[in-house]
Structure 1
Amino acid sequence: MAVKLTSLRDMPDDEVDEIRAILTKYHISYYETPAGNWGISAPTIWLHENDDLDIAKKRLEDYQQERGERMHTEYEALREQGKQLTFIDQIREHPLRVIALLAFAIAVAYFSVVPFIEIGHVER
């Protein structure tokens, strides 16, 4: 019977490709379910055999540990070179986007709070 290995939701494509490569390298039979046309379904990697679950989880755990260390090293290298974008850098690159998002957030907050404030000002 099929058993779920991992969800692929919000996982970068390069990570999914590396997981596929690991499963193929160790001859672990698997299949994927897609997110569907509207992205509502859960994209997942399933194993055909329950017996492969322990091995696959161990391989996946080792891979995730190695990937985490690799991503951290890359981040630190970019930060030291001054190439890692900060929040301020992103604001400088896209000022109109930031202004539009702030205006939208303020509008949502305003329209969410005003009805409650007006309830207190109802004349009796």
Structure 2
Amino acid sequence: MPHHLMNLRNVPDDEAEEIRALFEEYEVRYYETPPSRWGISMGGFWAHDDDEAARARALLDEYQAQRLESQREQYQSRCERGETGLWYQFRKRPATFLAALVAIVVILGFSLLPFVRLG
């Protein structure tokens, strides 16, 4: 029976490539199903037998712990450089930021309009 190792929905391309390389390096017999374009099927990495699944799971757990640590370090360095938050997004792309803000206000206005008219 196939064992689902990892869901590929919303997985960045670089992470999926690193996992493929990890499996190839350690000669894990796996197969991959892509996620559907419309988000109906999740896709993922799969193994056929129990032993391969256990070995792949151990490799994935170690890889994901390392990736978590490296992503946290990258985030902390971006925070220290001031590259996070709303002010950074506004400075980086002011037109996009203001368009999103206007869209939020319009949607909120249309959503609350029936309740305002009741009073």
TM range (shorter): 0.7 to 0.9
TM-score (norm 2): 0.84
Name the counterpart of 2:104.
Answer: 105
1:89/1:15 CA distance change after superposition, 3 Å: same
Asked if the contact 2:78–2:84 (Cα under 8 Å) also holds between the matched residues in 1, the reply is no
Change in 2 beyond 3 A, CA 1:58/1:73: same
Rounded to whole Å, the distance in 2 between the matches of 1:75 and 1:116 is: 41
List runs of 5+ in structure 1 lacking aligned partners. none
Greater Cα shift, 1-10 or 48-57: 48-57
Equivalent in the alignment of 2:67? 67
Larger-Rg structure: 1
Question: Which one-letter code corresponds to 1:67 in the other structure?
Answer: R
Structure 1, 14-23 or 37-46: larger mean CA deviation: 37-46
For the residues of structure 2 that align with 1:89 and 1:79, how far apart are their CA atoms? 10
Q: Which residue of 1 aligns with 2:2?
A: 2
Residue 52 of structure 2 corresponds to 52
Q: How does 1:1-124 map to 2 (within 5 A)?
A: 1-80=1-80, 82=81, 85-87=83-85, 88-118=87-117, 120-121=118-119
Q: CA RMSD in A?
A: 2.0
Q: Is the 8 Å Cα contact of residues 29 and 47 (structure 2) preserved in structure 1?
A: yes
Structure 1 position 39, deviation (Å): 4.3
Code of the aligned partner of 1:14: D
Aligned length: 118
Unpaired runs of 5+ in structure 2? none
* Maintained 8 Å contact 1:29/1:49: no
Query: 3-state SS of the aligned residue for 1:9?
Result: coil
- SS class of match (2:5): strand
